[in-house]
Amino acid sequence: MNGTMFYNIFVVLLLLVFLYIRFGPTKGLRTLKAGDFQKEMEQSSDRVLIDVREPSEYKSGFIPGAMNFPLSQFSHYISDIPKDKDIFLYCKSGMRSKNAALILRKNGYTRLNQLAGGIGSWKGKIIN
């Protein structure tokens, strides 16, 4: 094998690792379909619902009871999120809520849930 082939294999491996980290499962995060997400929220007496979209997205419609803690400013809100409650996260598609969950995990949160497919998959009430 020549150097070019080693380089190509290395690039492909890096790409695969990146894709797994970006799209693979997150330890300690439950990704729930809309119906299960709603059911789990209703059954939890100790919950916090967080919309991690930007304020303009939040204003266009949000799940009742959701607090808007944009991912771009998320570190400013961590002290406002109790560690002893079930945390329910959502965004537009699921990527930002996953990133928010990673931040929370690093800060000792363990009861993390996210809405699969983001708010677009939500079948319940939306406040505009």
Q: What is the CA radius of gyration of the chain?
A: 17
Length of the chain: 128
**Contact of 97 with 90, CB cutoff 8 Å:** yes
In 34-128, alpha helices (H): 34-43, 55-59, 95-106
Cα separation values, 83 from 47, 101, 105, Å: 10, 12, 10
Give yes or no: 59 in active site.
no
Which pLDDT tens digits describe the chain residue by residue (128 residues)? 677 877 777 777 777 766 655 555 566 689 999 999 999 999 999 999 999 999 999 999 999 999 999 999 999 999 999 999 999 999 999 889 999 999 999 999 999 999 999 999 999 999 98
Asked if 47 contacts 64 with a C-beta cutoff of 8 angstroms, the reply is no
Structural domains in the chain, CATH included, are 27-121 (3.40.250.10)
Find out whether 52 and 118 touch, Cβ atoms under 8 Å. Answer: no
Model pLDDT, residue 92:
96
Question: Which entry of 91, 100, 112, 115 is annotated as an active-site residue?
Answer: 91
Q: Rounded to an integer, what distance in angstroms lies between the CA atom of residue 95 and that of residue 92? A: 8
